[in-house]
Structure 1
């Protein structure tokens, strides 16, 4: 620890006050406090807070409080927590301080439980918040891994396309499907279900449960045997390709993001309410061909790619 670093010292003040630092750290913090009025004032605030808490009288636990709490908590999903507090208090033995603390803690749990119970009347508010946080955590947790997997996939796709497809299917629980199977799994018809431009043939369609979303992957073969892969997904794939060079361009009538791959390019654009990512594209002209074809098919269908 640098003795002249206020930020570092302030992070240690609580542990310093509680006597939890090593002897060397304690000495460094003490020397810093002697020379720094700001950190000395922060330490003083810890001391004042502790003194105020020590002088606060805790309420006595009313008779038969536990029975009343348990009866009130029957419809609330927190009785186990309250019961655990009761057991802790019983194991410690009678004490006005313990009784007061447990009484306060039980009251907090009761209010929290009731808030969650009645708050759930709001349409999915707590569930939506938890779900959003979970998605955020998963995104950060798997981002680096997912980018690495896609990098390996791209390397294999040029020279070993079949091996690349097997790798991705295995990695993300891929399931080969027909149009009806895709609709069952993702709720919409794949963009390739109405055919491909001249010079392309559909080799396979599958559904992948990728970290970002569940997406439809279509493997297409050109007349010369080379491979082009179309991903249809809900999210924007900005992080799929890591820090590879990218640029924006107009392809057909769509704004596309073009990513420079080792032997080809990738392109992504908005198609209806979802996004399409084409991997293994030769050039911007080929992207424009694909964009125009999909727009034409969507126009004929009259419902875009949303139609099932």
Structure 2
């Protein structure tokens, strides 16, 4: 949760994750205090006056551009209120210290003559990676939206589309161990009224995950994804809420014709797509938890 506080403060989380953080903050004094320090720091920065230009600045620049003369940086002081806010939070103090170091390196690099300093290259690289990650997530969300529409109309077409998009390989339990390092949780069986139609491994943007296509007795389809990350963001801005299913906290997402549910299972996460209601989620949660506990499947591998 602490890793998400900054994004939560800046309004960068999906609706589902933002709701999770908001609920957590209500019950966690430590995170509430950390969030308050973000808000206080933002306010102090907004109110802080711009520093005055030092006297004889241009004369100093002219003299320091002469060969053999090393520039002497002016000491930088912060307004007292801003300095007090930074000192109250070690996390923020560390962040501001790092930011100041980067700015100092950038300043000296530009001062000495034009080559982009390594700090700037690293900073640009970080932003590039961040942008690429967001692009992949946006693309993945679009693919999942197409998959959900096809799953409702034609489950077989949806299956082929996802396999083709993410280099899917149909496997049995032993092959899955070789590819992902753990035995799929569905290899322990499914509740009465469900049968396993196929198991495959997909190389998705978030991780390499196991996908199990399950059939109900009436022929309808339910799909289970077993993955490393926790991604309600798979489903974009669709409405979501937290609920207790069996003995686990689950995030439920509205898919128009059905729902999706994601929950923690051992060291990984399970996302069920095409679920009818919360009661069906509870059945799956309780069954998979029981089978995993008996067989040691789907928790820490084999």
Give TM-score scaled by structure 2 length: 0.61
Number of corresponding residues? 207
Cα distance between partner residues in 2 of 1:142 and 1:292? 33
Identify unmatched segments of 5+ residues in structure 1.
1-37, 60-100, 110-130
Match of 2:185 in 1: 191
Alignment of 1:247-266 (within 5 A): 247-266=241-260
Query: C-alpha separation between the residues in 2 aligned to 1:238 and 1:244?
Result: 9
Per-residue CA shift, 1:82-136, capped at 9, x if unaligned? xxxxxxxxxxxxxxxxxxx99xx9xx99xxxxxxxxxxxxxxxxxxxxx999975
Task: Provide structure 2 residue ranges, at least 5 long, that are not aligned to the other structure.
Answer: 1-49, 71-111, 119-124
The equivalent of 1:208 in structure 2 is 202
Q: Following TM superposition, by how much is the alpha carbon of 1:179 offset from its aligned partner in structure 2, in angstroms? A: 0.6
Select the structure with the greater relative contact order (CA < 8 A; seq sep ≥ 6): 2
Match of 1:231 among 190, 207, 225: 225
> Is it true that 1:52 corresponds to 2:46 in the alignment?
no
Render the CA deviation track for 1:241-264: whole Å, top value 9, x for unaligned: 000000000000000000000200
Q: CA deviation at 1:158?
A: 0.6
Paired residues for 1:2-13 under 5 Å: none
Q: Which residue of 2 aligns with 1:29?
A: none
1:303: Cα distance to partner? 6.2
Q: Distance in 1 between matches of 2:128 and 2:171?
A: 29
TM-score by length of 1: 0.60
| Partner Cα distance (1:134, 1:301) in 2 | 44
Match of 1:178 in 2: 172
CA distance in structure 2 between the aligned counterparts of 1:203 and 1:166, rounded to whole angstroms:
14
Q: 1: CA distance between counterparts of 2:236 and 2:202? A: 20
**Measured at CA, do residues 165 and 304 of structure 1 come closer, stay the same or move farther in structure 2, by a change above 3 Å?**
closer
| 1:225-254 Cα distance to aligned partner (Å, 9 max, x none) | 100000000000121000000000000000
Q: How far apart in 1 are the matches of 2:137 and 2:298?
A: 31
Measure the CA separation in 2 of the matches of 1:260 and 1:279: 10
Alignment RMSD, CA only?
A: 3.3
Alignment of 1:108-127 (within 5 A): none
Q: Partners of 2:201 and 2:297 in 1: how far apart?
A: 22
Residue 287 in structure 1 maps to residue 298 in structure 2: no
